[in-house]
């Protein structure tokens, strides 16, 4: 009986973990899309080509990767 209870608890924990991962993945995707839109908007406001937005995104990604969140 204890084994069945542990298996049930583990299944529940795995389900919770899977839901957390999905939620985080959706949030990251949404934030990436928002950052891309901001980069494109910034590039457009500067009169830059759409390729400049890619450069701006690279700058954002590097700052985020290095833990600098001041953009």
- Looking at residue 47, the DSSP 8-state letter turns out to be T
pLDDT at 52: 63
> Does 71 score more than 50 pLDDT?
no
- Looking at residue 38, the DSSP 8-state letter turns out to be H
Question: Which residue did the predictor score with more confidence, 19 or 45?
Answer: 19
Residues in contact with 40: Cβ distance below 8 Å, sequence separation at least 6, in sequence order: 50, 53
pLDDT (tens digit per residue) in 30-47: 988 888 888 778 777 877
Count of helix runs (H) and strand runs (E) in the chain: 2, 0
- CB neighbours of residue 42 within 10 Å: 16
User: Is this structure's pTM higher than 0.85?
Assistant: no
pLDDT (tens digit per residue) in 51-70: 566 666 666 665 555 554 44
Residue whose C-alpha is closest to residue 35's, from 27, 47, 46: 27
């Amino acid at each position: 009986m204890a084994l069945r209870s542990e298996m049930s608890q583990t299944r529940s924990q795995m389900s919770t973990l899977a839901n957390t991962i999905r939620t985080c993945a959706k949030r990251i995707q949404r934030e990436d899309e928002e950052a891309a839109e901001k980069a494109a908007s910034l590039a457009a406001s500067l009169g830059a080509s759409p390729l400049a937005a890619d450069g701006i995104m690279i700058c954002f990604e590097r700052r985020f990767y290095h833990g600098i969140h001041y953009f």
